[in-house]
Amino acid sequence: MTTEQAPAIHVQGIEKSFKDLHVLRGVDFDVTPGTIFALLGSNGAGKTTLVRILSTLLRADAGTATVHGYDVAARPGDVRESISLTGQFAAVDEILTGRENLVLVARLRHLPDPGAVADDLLARFSLTDAGGRRAGTYSGGMRRRLDIAMSLIGNPPIIFLDEPTTGLDPQARIEVWQTVKQLAQGGTTVLLTTQYLDEAEQLADRIAILHKGTIIQNGTLAELKALLPPAKVEYVEKQPSLEDVFLTLVGEPDPAEQTTETSAAAAAGKESR
Ligand SMILES: Nc1ncnc2c1ncn2[C@@H]1O[C@H](COP(=O)(O)OP(=O)(O)O)[C@@H](O)[C@H]1O
Ligand SMILES: [Mg+2]
């Protein structure tokens, strides 16, 4: 548990309200460099709000956060140079080829030899063969991989992935998971948000559950599973799944609290199973 290393991301007492909607009510966690940290929460829990604060797009009302050692409020420029952000909706230009998308971003970042940067990333993301094709013809998984590749231009040490696989089919999700694992193996710190329990279970070194504005649990998968006694299934002792842990901690969904948006998301979630 003891890590002497300075955290890549340090979040302490972060609060944020939108008018009288108190979304974040004192969020605390640290992310160890080179690890994958999953922020798990239902639709509307405040995951995107927190990612926007950490990526300097939004100011917190209270609390402090540092990213790569820089305070997000005092040193936003340094934070932006240390991170990349991939949002829930792919930022790929469909008219351009995959390679042209990458060259464009490398030019915008004033990197020398944008073509070489593009070719290197196409190779790393298994997109070399598709590089000359218009991105509009790509599958969902290829497009999301291209999006992540675009966000890596300039080699940021920390990457934020906000719901990287929402809306993807199972095969594409696995492709993106492999990409994310490779990033962390290469030393990049990954903070990802997800509402999918299996995604957190598959990818994360640590999982934090954001619920009603605070982190109600933060641990490794094994630590979270140890919170519940093993469930008895006939003669076989069965470990609780992360879903059991999550629903016990968060409580079953309250129908009165469900907006049309969350019921639609719940229905979409059911369909994908
Ligand atoms: N700019 C905003 N103005 C008003 N309310 C907002 C704004 N951004 C987010 N919210 C609200 O804050 C809550 C958390 O949103 P969000 O951070 O997007 O949740 P998540 O990403 O976990 O689904 C939601 O109820 C959302 O409607
Ligand atoms: Mg969100």
Residue 141 lies in a domain: no
| pLDDT given for residue 261 in this prediction | 46
Residue 4 lies in a domain: no
Q: Of all helices (H) and strands (E), which one includes residue 211? A: strand 206-211
Query: Does the predicted TM-score (pTM) go above 0.95?
Result: no
> Sign (positive/negative) of CA torsion 203, 204, 210, 211?
positive
pLDDT digits (tens, 9 = 90+) for 145-157: 899 889 888 889 9
SS3 114: helix
pLDDT digits (tens, 9 = 90+) for 224-243: 888 887 765 666 667 888 88
72 vs 64: CA distance, rounded Å: 8
| pLDDT given for residue 273 in this prediction | 39
Q: What domain range is 55 assigned to?
A: 9-90+157-272
Residue 71 lies in a domain: yes
SS3 101: helix
- Residues with Cβ–ion distance below 5 A, ligand 2: 47-48
Q: Is the CB of 45 under 6 A from ligand 1?
A: yes
Position in ligand 1 atom list of the atom nearest CA 162: 21
Side chain identity at residue 123, one-letter code: A
The CATH number linked to 268 is: 3.40.50.300
Residue 77 lies in a domain: yes
Side chain identity at residue 28, one-letter code: D
162 vs 39: CA distance, rounded Å: 9
Hey, how many other C-beta atoms are within 10 angstroms of the C-beta on 171? 10
Q: How many domains does the chain have?
A: 1
* Tokens found for residue 250: 């968060």
C-alpha 58 – ligand 2 centre gap (Å)? 14
Residue 131 lies in a domain: no
pLDDT digits (tens, 9 = 90+) for 29-74: 999 999 999 999 999 999 999 999 999 999 999 999 999 999 999 9
The separation between the first and the last C-alpha atoms of the chain, rounded to the nearest angstrom, is 35
Reported confidence tier of residue 267, pLDDT bands at 50, 70, 90: very low
Residue 64 lies in a domain: yes
Residue 203 lies in a domain: yes
Residue 75 lies in a domain: yes
| pLDDT given for residue 233 in this prediction | 60
Edge-to-edge order in the sheet of strand 21-31: 21-31, 9-18, 62-67, 70-71
Q: Name the closest-CA residue to atom 25, ligand 1.
A: 44
28 vs 75: CA distance, rounded Å: 20
Q: Is the CB of 173 under 6 A from ligand 1?
A: no
Q: Name the closest-CA residue to atom 26, ligand 1.
A: 44
